[in-house]
Each structure stands twice: as structure tokens, then as C-alpha cells.
Amino acid sequence: MSPVIAISSRAVNDTTASFDEFIKTVSFRDGWDAFFSLWIVWAITWLLRLYFSHSTKDDKDDNKDGNEASTGKRFHVGKRIKRVHKKITQMLLGLLSALTFNSLAHGSGAAVQILSWIYLGLGLSWAHALVWASKRGRPIYGLCGGVVQTGILLAIFILAIICRKSV
């Protein structure tokens, strides 16, 4: 076997072994547990959005006749659930990209785990606030939540770069 092939073979085996060790750490798995918890919340809001967003022909006829208010309770709930679902989808994609980048970079384990759970907790609080926020308060919630969300994701990306293991 040539020396070049032997060195490259050893480098691939070392990389594989270090990645296997990295993904076996508890903190790495706990960071992904936060992602899967957020995914479950996303799936629940998706089902709720499907249930509350469809209106029947009878609902439209009632609204034309003026028997009920022009917008029923189901319509309001549907709009709120749709807004929350959109926000949780954005959070899910952001956390997925940050955790994937951290995993591929062999980045920090414990810090990213902690930030992932903080991201999940603040995100769910933010989504809950969006359900009950008036039209007037939504931009403020959106700005504050967006800054916090971006800050936590940026911190995860930075930790992935700074704390990466040399391969």
C-alpha cells in the first residue's frame, strides 16, 4: 500500500471515530431532543391549523345572512393557529440548520444543548404570546422575539465554529 493511501485511510478512520464519539455524547443527543420536542409542537400546530382553517359552505352562508358575526370563533382561532404555526416552522428550520451545522463541525456539545433548550422554551413562550397578542402588540412581540431567536441561533453557529474539534 502506498504511503499516501495509508495516510488518507488513517485520516478517514480517525474522522469517523471522532464523529462517532461526538454523537455518542449525552449533550449532543440532548440538543437534538430539543429539536424533536419542537418538531412535535410543530406537528400539533400543523394538525390544529388544518382543523381550524377550513370553513364549510354552511359557515359561509351563515355569515352572508348575518345570523352570526361576520367572522366566527373558528375563523379567529384559525388565524391565530396559522400565525403560530408559521412562527414555529421558522423556529424549527432555524434550529435544524444550527444543530446540523454544529454536528457537522463537531462543535460544542454542552453549550449548544443548553442554548437549544433555552431556544425551545423562549420560542414556545413567544408562540403563546402571539396567540393572545392584539394586532397592536404583534410587531413588538415579533421584534423582541426575532432578536432573541436570531441571537440564540447566532450563538449556536459561533460555538460550532469556535469549539469545533480539529479533524
pLDDT in tens, 90-102: 999 999 999 988 8
DSSP string, 74-119: HHHHHHHHHHHHHHHHHHHHHHHHHHHHHHHTT--SHHHHHHHHHH
Whether 18 is covered by a domain: the verdict is no
Residue in 119, 158, 98, 160 with CA at minimum distance from that of residue 37:
119
Residues 38, 16: Cα–Cα separation, whole Å: 29
Whether 3 is covered by a domain: the verdict is no
Whether 4 is covered by a domain: the verdict is no
What is the residue range of 31's domain?
26-162
Instruction: Give tens-digit pLDDT for 106-141.
Output: 777 788 889 999 999 998 888 888 777 777 777 887
Region 158-164 average pLDDT: 85
Whether 20 is covered by a domain: the verdict is no
Whether 144 is covered by a domain: the verdict is yes
Q: What is the CATH number of the domain that holds 70?
A: 1.20.120
Instruction: Give tens-digit pLDDT for 13-55.
Output: 445 556 667 666 666 777 888 899 999 999 999 999 888 876 5
Report the domain count for the chain: 1
What is the value of pTM for the model shown?
0.71
